[in-house]
Structure 1
């Protein structure tokens, strides 16, 4: 007897959330019942390296491979329609800013609370980030806190992690003011645009600063 197939859809979707999104998508060929389960998985982990690009085979910068990855992400996010809890998106080889912004906007529209983004393009924080509780940005993303004259508000954000991100101190101070619930701040190899940096937050409980091998808490 196949015990797995007897499990409720909610349990199967929970199990699939522990796989990478590409691995979860492959389960759709198992049986008719599995075809649409990916659309209800509450957590997506999408990484262009090494699952798609296979650098060991010299595919890292082949345009057709990168296009295959972007089309896959398009299909997955188009298929998805249910609420999304977490999105881990690592796409440093994708140089299409509008496309990456569209992917993030899709996740935010579905109420994502945990966003982990690694990108090689400039990403502008959206004023629609109000559902975020945890945010991690990695990969020399250029943070812009105000777009179209609309200030960003992150009222629920408790954890912010910036890793290898370029930040202007004045923008950073504005970001802190937009996060009244911030409890944990992690700064790893941040590229400050000025020497005068001020970290001030009444709600902050934990501050971690890492510069190379040195970690201060």
Structure 2
């Protein structure tokens, strides 16, 4: 018997195979055979990512044609739309209309764009079959520094997975900020660079929530009231400013932390330490080397007997993932260890600071320890898009809780202080005849250039804002 050919397969099988490809690949595959020419129009998955195209213009053109030519009788179960940069209102409305008119069986929806949330929300609120939603809609406009307001009325009872990016959560009529209270089936929640507006406490209440992931790179400081008795996994990436309260942390057994820190800012380490103290039943802990560096900045952390007696009593596994420190954290490390270098000649020689691992393992000496080389912390953060590589994004993105001008002024003064610390470090090191390696001198010069460029950007932004306010 001759071997069956791929082209002999029935259409339903071919459609199922092509549904595993993104839409561009599916369309290109259908060109291979005359019989397959129109099969892509019936695929129940629609995956359009700008990163698959050489230019945004070619992406927009392809997207418009795909939405226009697909068979309208096909009800998709997955729509995944990712488009960087400003998007024309007409094109965004076309995406919104397509979702709205094909939402009967929609299970998974991902929209990541820069535009007007008003064009997106009506189509999402009507998708009652949704089980998975990722929504990241950045405000459009050069001088729009705020984040998009998350709707108070969104109610998707079937939703089990929710990923929100660049939103501000507002208080309801009762004064409480409870954006997730209507999602009764929620199992996994990702809060990506979101904040709280006109309040100080974010309530996360869910009986079924098992996994919570947070990423934060801004100055937003607020408390999180956590009521999630089933929570077992907590992951965090960025600068830890938010404090937790509530008893639900006692159920968490797996923790992944990739903490960072701004140069010469001493508050985040204290918050990070409080997290570890409030998580008494951790069995598996994965941290980056930068997380250990941040912990090492806590004053007298190795001498605090009360603290060491309370940490990590249930730990079974500890993984430390080595990766280069960020510019801000590396500078903070130099400043923090400045006195030690001058007085004792001590110089950190490892990404892992002395004594911190021993502190974490003191109450669980039999825990397995793995030290791994890697470029990022682990798979827990693979679903997060790469953060902007622009110079010091923490300084360039004002908080939504402050007036833009006051916020820019505060950041500018902070950055100038750090620049002065850098000059002091170089001056005293030279005066005390401390020998700096060539690589360190190059790094210090690069830091200074970055500081100067970032200060110039902030000053330009302030001038532009003053011009706008004067109109």
Tell which deviates more after alignment, 75-84 or 204-213: 204-213
2:81 aligned partner: 89
Where relative contact order (Cα < 8 A, 6+ residues apart) is larger, the structure is 1
The structure with more helix, counted as a fraction of residues: 2
Tell which deviates more after alignment, 207-216 or 180-189: 207-216
Q: Distance in 1 between matches of 2:13 and 2:204?
A: 43
**Structure with the greater alpha carbon radius of gyration:** 2
2:185 aligned partner: 181
CA deviation vs aligned residue, 1:23-65 (integer Å, no higher than 9, x gap)? 2112332232111111111112211124232xxxxxxxxxxx5
Unaligned runs of 5+ in 2: 140-147, 217-237, 239-257, 260-271, 280-471
Find the residue that maps to 2:67 and give its secondary structure.
Answer: helix
Tell which deviates more after alignment, 16-25 or 1-10: 1-10
Q: How does 1:54-133 map to 2 (within 5 A)?
A: 65-66=56-57, 68-80=58-70, 81=72, 82-111=74-103, 112-124=106-118, 125-126=121-122, 127-133=125-131
CA deviation vs aligned residue, 1:170-208 (integer Å, no higher than 9, x gap)? 279464233222221111222443533221233433222
Give, in angstroms, the shift of residue 139 of structure 1: 5.4
Find the residue that maps to 1:182 and give its secondary structure.
Answer: coil
Change (3 A) 1:97 1:157: farther
1:140 alignment partner, one of 133, 138, 141: 138
Q: Distance in 1 between matches of 2:50 and 2:32?
A: 24
Q: Distance in 2 between matches of 1:10 and 1:44?
A: 16
RMSD of equivalent CA atoms: 2.8
Runs of 4+ with >4 A deviation:
171-174
Unaligned runs of 5+ in 1: 54-64
CA deviation vs aligned residue, 1:78-109 (integer Å, no higher than 9, x gap)? 22220111111111224223422431331343
Counting matched residue pairs gives 200
CA deviation vs aligned residue, 1:115-154 (integer Å, no higher than 9, x gap)? 11110113242231212110012353624426xxxx4331
C-alpha contact (below 8 Å) 1:108/1:131 kept by paired residues: no
Q: How does 1:34-49 map to 2 (within 5 A)?
A: 34-49=36-51
C-alpha contact (below 8 Å) 1:92/1:121 kept by paired residues: no
C-alpha contact (below 8 Å) 2:178/2:203 kept by paired residues: no
1:19 alignment partner, one of 21, 24, 46: 21
